Structure 1
Amino acid sequence: MLIYNPKDWWKLIFYFHKADTFRKLLPAMMGVMAYTFFISYLENNVFHFVPLKNPLAIHSLVGFVLSLLLVFRTNSSYDRWWEGRKIWGSFTNNSRNLALKLSAILPDKHESKEVFRILVGNYLLAVKDYLRGHVNLEHLDYVGNYNEAFYANYKHIPNRIGQAIHLEISRLYKVGIINAEQLIILNGELVSFTDNLGACERIRNTPIPSSYNIFIKKMIFLYVFTMPFGFVLEFKFWAAPIVTLIFYAFAGIEMIAEEIEDPFGTDSNDLALDTIVKNVKNNLSEIFKN
């Protein structure tokens, strides 16, 4: 995730990073500009089209409708991004709450504190990698019976780690270290882990409907590539930079919406999951240090 100062206008205006829409759209923008120059040349030097009374009226109306569609598209994508951030905020809070409760319940220097520190940290790390497509077992820490063999032959590693947390708590209950009342107190955080994972999977596995996505791209294409026929009558060769700027605005908004609709990746505008997981693991180490 790109960290920036929103008040530093000049730096942001002239800053271009690897995911910047201007950089990605530059080849297409050059093509639109060349296309508009070609139409302008034909109109001004070859065909001399009959001037229309209001050449920009139709595109003004269509542009208004297209703007509404893009606003809805961007809002839908941002809702997914913000919901993902809230879910990971819940992951953070529930991990801390579980650690604080276990730290208070378990005796000082008890071996299970280290087990829970590793398991809860592994769970968030595995969820992050799972949402990005693959969990690398080499990134996990192993403790006691929860070693590499424990996770072998399992496709859904976060569920396996969640099972390990439940197994460890159940073991402590059976030997009398945790009583029934304390087990109920811990249950809320345990349930929330699976609920949050399911919510993340819902966002990741349910993209914006394809028909809606394709329709907006078709409308942008038709809008931009018919625009020169009206604009050259009004602005002559100046239509080329004007049409290119309008294309950049519409296509840039669509590209931003595409990028943020899946907030769990590694793009500049995706959630800083690596930082969140690192911070939670540091919190766990501090809570369980006694």
Structure 2
Amino acid sequence: MRARPARRPTKPLMNRARKKPRRMPLVLRFIKGSIHGDILLPVIIHALFAALIVYVDDFTPYTPHLPGSITSSLSIVVGLLLVFRNQSSYARFWSGQNDLTTICTNIRNLTRSFLTCNYNSKGPGPTPAERAETEAAIHTLLAIIYAVKNTLQWEWEHSVGAPDLEDSGSGSLKPELRELLGPKMSQTYEFEGLGLPIQLTMSIEAYIKRSHDRGWFHSPQASQLSVQLNSLVAAYGTMETIRLTPIPVAYLIHTRQVLALYGGVLPFAFVESMQWWTVVIVSLITFTLYGIEAIAYQLEEPFGYDKADIKMDDVIEDLRIEVSVLLREWQENAPMFGRH
């Protein structure tokens, strides 16, 4: 039997690919990537409560027993609540991932069109100033996804959003944005309520208009480029909605209270038949239920820094590498752009 080849990420998408194979089975992982630390306290509390009920049953004249039908009825409610909780949370995560992919796809398409069609086949080639303008447009496209990330993760320099500070221009940008946009970004308007991603799309729309007027893009093509830009903005708007619309707090409160109630009733149903094994059974059940709820809690905010969140930094870095290679080859008049 042939040995299974080692998994190695290919050069494209290398940051999103798994860096190394798992060395430990997932069933044995209790710290890295798991939610055990988040649910340890409630599991311990329920185990201690179960031990108290068993102690009362064994060493006092009281018999704290309840019929098993009560837990059966509650289990249906708990199951429905957790199913809805996880479905809604994963839907937010999946939608955020798809919207990020939509933004990357549109940036790829716009980059391809800008670099391939930035000349009029019936006239002279682009001037150095026009080539510099195209290069700046590509940098602006790449800056859009950085700005989306910074906005969704609330990553701004301290001077952004503070109109009383003297430096409210390009010096207030994050370093990666300042490197891409350079001194031409004279002012940002975040402290006035205009997000930087939207401001940058205005520059791209203006570039499309100027390119159409020069004859680089015919009207249907320019219209399609604007559609792609609109799709990019729409995806960003959906990501904003996910970021700014949390799960209703009333639902979160009720879910936690139902879990606590269910975990509190379990010892009364098991103590008569299981005795001290009740502590083990209650611990396992509460570990399972609180773990499912904790996973949903992580997934409902997909743009953070948790292990389970969308790897936005890796996605952006892969896109930056792609766009940088295309821009470098375009500067060297590579045959892929059809100029030869």
Q: Shared topology, TM-score over 0.5? A: yes
Match of 2:74 in 1: 62
Equivalent pairs, count: 286
Q: Is the 8 A contact 2:57 2:64 kept in 1?
A: no
CA distance in structure 2 between the partners assigned to 1:261 and 1:94 by the alignment: 25
Q: How does 1:169-184 map to 2 (within 5 A)?
A: 169-175=208-214, 177-184=216-223
Q: Is the 8 A contact 1:146 1:164 kept in 2?
A: no
1:123 matches 2:141:
no
1:218 matches 2:257:
yes
Alignment identity in percent? 27
Q: How does 1:1-290 map to 2 (within 5 A)?
A: 11-18=25-32, 20-49=34-63, 55-107=67-119, 110-136=131-157, 137-138=173-174, 139-140=176-177, 141-143=179-181, 146-147=184-185, 149-151=186-188, 155=193, 156-175=195-214, 177-289=216-328, 290=330
The structure whose RCO (Cα within 8 Å, separation 6+) is larger is: 1
Q: Secondary structure at the match of 2:184?
A: coil
Structure with greater helix share of residues: 1
CA distance in structure 1 between the partners assigned to 2:95 and 2:296 by the alignment: 15
Distance change >3 Å, CA 284–CA 2, structure 1 → 2: closer
Distance change >3 Å, CA 143–CA 45, structure 1 → 2: closer
Q: Which runs of 5+ in 1 are unaligned?
A: none
RMSD: 2.6
CA distance in structure 2 between the partners assigned to 1:121 and 1:210 by the alignment: 37
Distance change >3 Å, CA 192–CA 51, structure 1 → 2: closer
1:101 CA displacement? 0.9
Moved more, 172-181 or 260-269: 172-181
Distance change >3 Å, CA 3–CA 255, structure 1 → 2: farther
**TM-score, with length taken from structure 1:** 0.88
Q: Render the CA deviation track for 1:206-242: whole Å, top value 9, x for unaligned.
A: 2222222221111001111122122211211111111
1:23 CA displacement? 2.1
Residue identity matched to 1:94: N
Q: Which runs of 5+ in 2 are unaligned?
A: 1-14, 120-125, 158-172, 331-340
Q: Secondary structure at the match of 1:16?
A: coil
